[in-house]
Amino acid sequence: MNPTPSMEDNNHPRQALPISVVILTYNEEHNIGPAIRSCSWCDDVHVLDSGSKDRTCEIAASLGAKVWVNKFQSFGQQRNWAIDNVPCKHPWHFHLDADERFTNALVQEMTDQLGPDGTRSRHAAYLVPNRMIFMGKWVRFAGGFPAYQVRLIRHGKCRFVDFGHGQREQTTGTIGRMKDAYIHFNFSKGLVEWMTKHNQYSNREGAEGMLIRQEKHPIWAELQSDDPMVRRRAMKNLSYFLHGRGLLRFLDLFFVRGGWRDGKAGFHYSAMIGMYEHWIELKIAEKESNWRQATDALAERLLQEPAQ
Amino acid sequence: MSEPKIDIMIPTLNEADHIGECVRNALKLGPVYVLDSFSKDGTQQIARDAGATVIEHEFVNYSAQKNWGIANLPFEGDWIFILDADERLTPSLVKEVRERLARPDAANGYFVNRVLLFMGREIRHGGLYPSWNLRLFRRGKAMYEDRSVHEHMVCEDPVDYLKREMLHIRRETLSQFIDKHVRYADMESNEWVKLKLGVSNVAKPKALFRNILGVRQWLRREIWPRMPVRPLWRFMHMFVLRLGFLDGRPGWHMARLMMSYEYMISLLYRDKLVRATQADYSTDVFHERRNHYPWRAQQPPAKPDQSPDSNAVNTQG
C-alpha cells in the first residue's frame, strides 16, 4: 500500500462501474469539490444535503452531481432516506462522506469484486477500511486502521440504524470486506473545529462518568460477564474511576497500539486523544467538587474586607 | 488637589454572567463605559441596568477594539481604567488609586497587579502571580500595540506600579475555559505563523527593551515559540520552578491546563504551517482552504475607525 496517497493520477477505468455514489453533506463547500472529483470513475454521483448555508449545493451541481435536500435528523435516518428516495441508477450504493476520497486501488478492487454488472458478488454489503490523514500523513497505528465501516451496500439488502455518534448496518445477508481503503481527512476543517467538538464530547462523557461514579455499578461482576458488550461497557465504567486517564490513553495509543510507528503525526494524534481524556477527568472533578461555588464564596469574602 | 476623575472602560462580549457584578463594583471608582461587541446574551441590558453607559462596536481584535474605545468613547475624566468583565476592584485598590492620582507627582500610567481566584483558592504561585498589566493611564498617553491577542500597552513615561491588587475571578465552567483557550490558541498560533512567514506586525524589539517586561515579552514572543517540548517546559516551569505545587490541587490542575493550552498552540501552529506552506499537501482540499488563513492575504492591517460618528457605532444609554 502506498503510504502517501495521491489524488493526482486519475487513470480510473473508463468503463462505468455498477455503483452509485451518495455523499451526505452539511456546509462542506471546501470538501465537496475534491470529493466529487475523486468520483470521476462513477457516472452517477448524488449529493444529499441537509440544508447547507454555504455554496455546497452550487459547487456539487456545477461538478455534475445530482443534488437532493432532506432535513437532517440522524446519520442512520439520513442514509435510509437516501436508500429510499434518491433514484440511484446502479444496484450498488457507496456512501462517501464529504471529507473522504476514493483511491484508485479501492476502485480497482470494487471492480474486481462486483464485476461489470454487479452480479459477481454474493454479499449484501461490504466493510471498507479507511486511512485517517493527520498533518499530511496516514496515521495507521494510532488511528486504529482498518477501522472498518459498512459503506458499500446492495440496494434493498441493507439499511442503517443509529448507533452512538454515527450509525450501524442492519442486514440479513452476508457482509464482505474490502482490503483497500478510502482516504479520510478527519481534520479537513482544521484542528480548532476538532478541539471545540471534543470539548463538547468531553462534557457529555464527563456527565456520564459522574453518574457512573455515583451509581456504584457492579463493575467487577460485569467484567466477568459472558456478553462481550457488557464486558466492554464495564471496562469503560471502570475507566471513570482511574486517575491519570489522559496519560494512560496516550500510553495505550502510542506504545500498545504502536502509534510510534506513525512518526510525528502518530505522536501528536495520541497526545491529542490523551488531552481529550484528560478533559473528561477534569470535568468530573469540576462537578464533583463544585469549583465555581467555592470561587464565588472566596471572591465575596475578599471584596468585603475593609480598605487598608 | 481636586479629586481625580477616572472613567472605567470594560470591553465585553457575551459576559452576562459577570457584567452586572463587575459594573456595580467598578462604579465605586467612577463612571463605567461598557464597550460591547454585539453580545447575544443580553450583556448590554444587564450593564445598563447596573448603571453603565453601553456602546457597541464591531470587534476586530482586542487591541483594535480597546484602541477604538480609548479614542472614541465619550470619556469626561483625565484618567482611564481598563477593566475586564471577570475582574473586580478591591476596596483597598479603589482607595489607593484615589490617593495616588490626587498627588501632584502622579505618573502617566500605572501597572495594576491582579490575583487569580480558581477552584476556591487565591493562586499566588506558578508564575501566575504577580500579574502586572498597565490598566490605568492618563487619557491620550497610552495605546495598545497592534497584536491580536495578549496585547500590551505602550505608554509615555513615567509609569508606576500600584500596591493593591484586583481580583481575577475564574468563574466560567471548564468547558467555557477550554473553548476560550482554543480561541486564544487559534489567535496565538496565527501570530506564530506570521512570525515564521515574516509578515508580523508586532512592535519592534527596540521599543520593547525599555524595561524588564520588554525583555520578558521578547523571550516570550521570539524565543519561547522556538523551544522544543514546550508544553512540558510550561508545566515544569509552573508547577516546579515557580512553586505551583504550593497552591495545592488548584495549582496542579492549572499547570496541567496550561500545558494543554501550550500544546494546542503547537498543534495549531504545525497544522497551519503545513497547510500554508506545503504545496503538494496530498489533496487539493488544502489548496482551497489556504485562502481562509488571514496571512495569505498580506494586506496592511485595518486602522481603527477614528471618527466618533461612524455608522458602525450604536451609542445608547
Distances (CA, A) of A210 to A207, A214, A247, A285, B252: 5, 6, 20, 9, 21
**Complex prediction ipTM:** 0.78
* Domains held by chain A: number: 2
- In this predicted model, what pLDDT tens digit does every residue of B30-78 receive, in sequence order? 999 999 999 999 899 999 999 989 999 998 888 888 899 998 898 888 9
Of A151, A184, A217, the residue at which a domain comes to its end is: A184
Mean pLDDT across A284-300: 90
pLDDT surpassing 90 at residue A252: yes
C-alpha B19/C-alpha B21 separation (Å) is: 6
8 Å CB contact of A6 and B282: yes
pLDDT surpassing 70 at residue A237: yes
A175 and A196 in one domain?
Answer: no
Over the Cα atoms of chain A, what is R_g?
23
B181 and B166 in one domain?
Answer: no
What is the distance in angstroms between the Cα of A289 and the nearest Cα belonging to chain B? 9
Q: What pTM did the predictor assign? A: 0.74
Give me the pLDDT at residue A165, please: 67
Number of residue pairs across A and B with CB atoms under 8 Å?
Answer: 130
Task: Say whether residue B118 is in contact with chain A using an 8 A CB cutoff.
Answer: yes
A136 and A94 in one domain?
Answer: yes
Of A184, A203, A236, the residue at which a domain comes to its end is: A184
Closest C-alpha to A78, from A33, A137, A1, A25: A25
Residue A14 maps to a domain: no
Domain carrying residue B185: 174-296
Give B283's contacts in chain A (Cβ within 8 Å): 7, 34, 101, 183, 185
C-alpha B200/C-alpha B225 separation (Å) is: 14
Task: Say whether residue B190 is in contact with chain A using an 8 A CB cutoff.
Answer: no
Residue B235 maps to a domain: yes
The mean pLDDT value of chain A amounts to: 86
Give me the pLDDT at residue A195, please: 94
pLDDT surpassing 90 at residue A48: yes
Residues 6 or more apart whose CB falls under 8 angstroms from that of A305 comprise B90, B91, B92
- In this predicted model, what pLDDT tens digit does every residue of A162-218 receive, in sequence order? 876 677 888 888 899 998 889 888 888 888 989 999 999 899 889 888 888 888 777
Percent share of chain A, pLDDT over 70:
94
Give A269's contacts in chain B (Cβ within 8 Å): none
Q: Cell numbers at residue B50, please?
A: 447596573
C-alpha A52/C-alpha B138 separation (Å) is: 50
Residues of chain B with pLDDT under 70: 1, 147-150, 199-213, 277-317
**Best residue of A243, A292, A300 to probe chain B, by most B CBs closer than 10 Å:** A292
B185 and B150 in one domain?
Answer: no
pLDDT surpassing 70 at residue A304: yes
Give A191's contacts in chain B (Cβ within 8 Å): 264, 267-268, 271
Residue A3 maps to a domain: no
Using pLDDT thresholds of 50, 70 and 90, give the confidence band for residue A221.
confident
**Pairing state between β A92-97 and A19-25:** parallel
A119 and A59 in one domain?
Answer: yes
- In this predicted model, what pLDDT tens digit does every residue of A140-150 receive, in sequence order? 899 888 888 89
B124 and B256 in one domain?
Answer: no
Residue B102 maps to a domain: yes
Residue A272 maps to a domain: yes
B160 and B32 in one domain?
Answer: yes
Residue A71 maps to a domain: yes
The shortest CB-CB distance from A295 to any of B90, B94, B117 is to B117
Domain carrying residue A42: 19-184
